[in-house]
Structure 1
Amino acid sequence: MLKYWVWLAELPRLKGPFRLALLRHFGSPEDIFFADREELLLAEDVPPGQAELALNRDLSAADRILADCQRLGQRILTIQDAEYPQRLRNIFDPPLVLYVKGRMPVMDEEAAIAVVGTRECTPYGTACGERLGRELAASGAVVVTGLARGVDSAAARGALRAGGSVVGVTGGGLDVVYPPENGDLYADVAARGVLLSEYPPGSPPDKAHFPVRNRIMSGLSVAALVVEAPGHSGALITARLALEQGREVYAVPGPIDAPDSVGCNRLIRDGAGLAAEGWDILRDFQERFPEKLRPARKLPAWTPLPTRRRAEPRRKPEPAPEPEKAPALRAVSREGLTDDQIALLGVLEPEGPVQVDDLIESTGIPARRVSSALTMLEIDGCVRQHDGKRYTRTVALTE
């Protein structure tokens, strides 16, 4: 029954990973609710102090939340429901329940892009957020946003104006609009997409909720785009979480002397993809979602249209130039490299770029570690990144 799910999700002081551990051990919240103390203490990976918190059998809060959901037209999605996105289920500490208002896309079949940025954005950040949100939606992507003031709201508006679907993940109850001026935007997102929260109705947008909320945004997505962010920004938390979850990260470049672009420029320096338009991101996912994604423009702006030319007399072809010799590879000692870096360099070649997914499969190294190792190798000039997150080796290993 739903009330036991809400009871488990709202148990005071019980930490998320231990809620999941109890669920794995007992199989259902109802079985946890009716377990005695001895049974609770047998749960693996749950400290006794945490397990005993489940002895709190007060269902009044759960009954109140269920009544509020019915009154407000919200439904509850549990982690065991088929509609719950597999992407989100696979992250560390996924939410046990999601409060939902609107129509939930089949997220595992969508090229969902989390668009984030600073709340106190500049006019440049606002314009870029709206434009990229519009371009992503027009090209077939689903835009995931926190609906915060600034870049988040701009991206949501851009996607809605393109007729696209938006997933808004809030840091409070879905009935508590934050910021207050976004009432119409909340309503538009609920009508054209979906509002999601792990917090029940009436929950205030507490400051501590937003960094926690970010893991859901990146977990629902295949990539995160940071539009504008200073050196210390909540948007950079989303980028870090995305990397830890094995997602791709992109950033919009800004002027080198602009404080609000420090975070984005640093991400690009450290290996994030540069995004000047929506297709800079989506071209990397076109093979994965061939039925969903298409360029919003048939021809790039710089491609000239074909014109008729007068036939010219045939000329004797000139001899083809001799191919240039490949530059000699720089020698690099294994001593200064990690085991992951050595393994990746052993798979990569100077020619024939290799996709990141193929590197993960060939080496057996987790995606997060592969991304981190490639970033450091690229910074040190040991690998070169090509279009589509493909890499070649630029050095020769020595003992």
Structure 2
Amino acid sequence: MSMLKYWVWLSELAGLGNQTRLALLEHFNTPEDVYYADEGEILLTEGMTRREADALKAKDLTEAEKILADCERLELQVLTLRDAAYPVRLRSIYDPPCLLYLRGRLPEVDELPAVAVVGTRKASPYGIRCAEDLAFGLADAGALVVTGLARGIDSMAAQGALRAGGTVIGVLGGGVDVIYPKENGWLYDDVAAAGCLISEYPPGTEPLPAHFPIRNRIMSGLSVAALVVEAPVRSGALITAGMALDQGRDVFAVPGPIYAENSKGCNRLIRDGAGVAAEPWDILRDYEAQFPGKLRGTTRSAPEPLETQPGQMVETAEPAMPSLSLKGAGLTDDQILLLRTLTDQPMLTDDLIELTELPTRRVLSALTMLEIDQYVTQCSGKRYMRAVTLSE
């Protein structure tokens, strides 16, 4: 903790750009050394200006200590550029963040084919279906899905990956404790349970518009490829695609109707050389040899989409419930426990986790398989109800 306060101090110091912070770490090795260095030595740092050297005279550690106290209270991890757990893939980009705040458990990013799935916030029904289906297939095949959790394509991609029982990294433009958009509170919780939320901004930071283009470099930096599902010509998703290319990552895009505004950015990417992504293996076949044993050659088909347009859920309760024999259905213990816990009235996922005392990821995975087999029905607000009557 004593060393971390200097990392937070350097990361939050006003008047310094990220490249200056990286240059200081290259010159002094540790933020503590920067903190105690004299002005003459600081000015020897490559690219250092007098104005930036003056900014380093601010030695108050109060704010850094408060941020670390908030992290402890919120059970957040703080990952520095020099930590062994910091992904090498991200560290190798031109301007990696010096510090990351994490909620959840960071997967072994460097050992997995990670794909950043991005797109417009104002998604069409076509974009929503593509985002869910492709993210479901990517996760089901063993890929790691990285997304920004914004409204529209990002949220639907995260939801599709989670429904496949996959791991998701959500890269945020604000603090990991600040939910944006507000309706995504349940999605933040599910992503943190099955993967992690990441931000270079300390807890409590509001998601300002200027933060999002900056955070995009982290999304592409964690990934081997970026997939643009649906994007107009002027779109933040295209910024992510550009950063991915700058970082040496592959870029794929979902083709769309030539007159659809939301597809013009994707069609332009394809025209300029991006790979066409109509199914998950259009992307993953390029990485099967690079990540031996990590990808599964066949994947399940995604369940029917949950939404027909942003914010509108489809409820599909059956009017009459067939009978299901638990003995002969070939169900897992988790699936049987969930079926016995569910009723013919919608129940929240959080309530099911509490009642069954199963880990969140196992509950989500079991619910997905039960939904595919049409033994449960998903309703609005991440609620589930049993679609069969049970017999022993």
| Matching residue of 1:122 | 124
- Counterparts of 1:139-158 in structure 2, within 5 Å, are 139-158=141-160
| Aligned partner of residue 264 in structure 2, secondary structure | helix
Equivalent residue in structure 2 for 1:57, among 59, 65, 87: 59
1: CA distance, partners of 2:41 / 2:271: 52
Equivalent residue in structure 1 for 2:282, among 280, 304, 313: 280
- Aligned-pair distance for 1:20? 0.5
State the Cα deviation string for residues 4-51 of structure 1 (Å, max 9, x = none): 000000000200000110111011000100111112112122222212
Q: Does 1:249 align with 2:239?
A: no
| Matching residue of 1:24 | 26
1: CA distance, partners of 2:182 / 2:298: 33
2: CA distance, partners of 1:211 / 1:121: 19
Equivalent residue in structure 2 for 1:181, among 183, 201, 222: 183
Q: Does 1:167 align with 2:176?
A: no
Q: Does 1:269 align with 2:288?
A: no
- Aligned-pair distance for 1:295? 2.5
2: CA distance, partners of 1:21 / 1:53: 15
**Structure 2 letter corresponding to 1:14:** L
Query: Which of the pair has more CA radius of gyration?
Result: 1
- Counterparts of 1:80-159 in structure 2, within 5 Å, are 80-159=82-161
Q: Does 1:235 align with 2:237?
A: yes
**Structure 2 letter corresponding to 1:251:** A
2: CA distance, partners of 1:293 / 1:51: 49
- Aligned-pair distance for 1:297? 4.0
| Aligned partner of residue 202 in structure 1, secondary structure | coil
- Aligned-pair distance for 1:179? 0.3
Unaligned runs of 5+ in 2: 302-392
State the Cα deviation string for residues 57-92 of structure 1 (Å, max 9, x = none): 011110110010011110100000000001111111
1: CA distance, partners of 2:299 / 2:137: 10
2: CA distance, partners of 1:160 / 1:297: 15
CA contact (8 A) 1:135 1:296 kept: no
| Matching residue of 2:4 | 2
| Matching residue of 1:218 | 220
Unaligned runs of 5+ in 1: 300-399
Q: What RMSD, in angstroms, separates the aligned Cα atoms of the two structures?
A: 1.1
**Structure 2 letter corresponding to 1:33:** Y
CA contact (8 A) 1:77 1:84 kept: yes
- Aligned-pair distance for 1:52? 2.4
Greater relative CO (CA pairs within 8 A, separation 6+): 2
**Structure 1 letter corresponding to 2:262:** D
Identity %: 64
| Matching residue of 1:314 | none
| Matching residue of 2:78 | 76
User: Which deviates further from its counterpart, 45-54 or 257-266?
Assistant: 45-54
Equivalent residue in structure 2 for 1:39, among 34, 38, 41: 41
| Matching residue of 2:197 | 195
Instruction: State how many pairs are aligned.
Output: 299
- Aligned-pair distance for 1:298? 9.3
2: CA distance, partners of 1:134 / 1:296: 13
CA contact (8 A) 1:226 1:235 kept: yes
CA contact (8 A) 2:137 2:299 kept: no
Equivalent residue in structure 2 for 1:66, among 45, 63, 68: 68
State the Cα deviation string for residues 311-354 of structure 1 (Å, max 9, x = none): xxxxxxxxxxxxxxxxxxxxxxxxxxxxxxxxxxxxxxxxxxxx
| Matching residue of 1:378 | none
| Matching residue of 2:295 | 293
CA contact (8 A) 1:41 1:52 kept: no
**Structure 1 letter corresponding to 2:232:** P
| Aligned partner of residue 3 in structure 1, secondary structure | helix
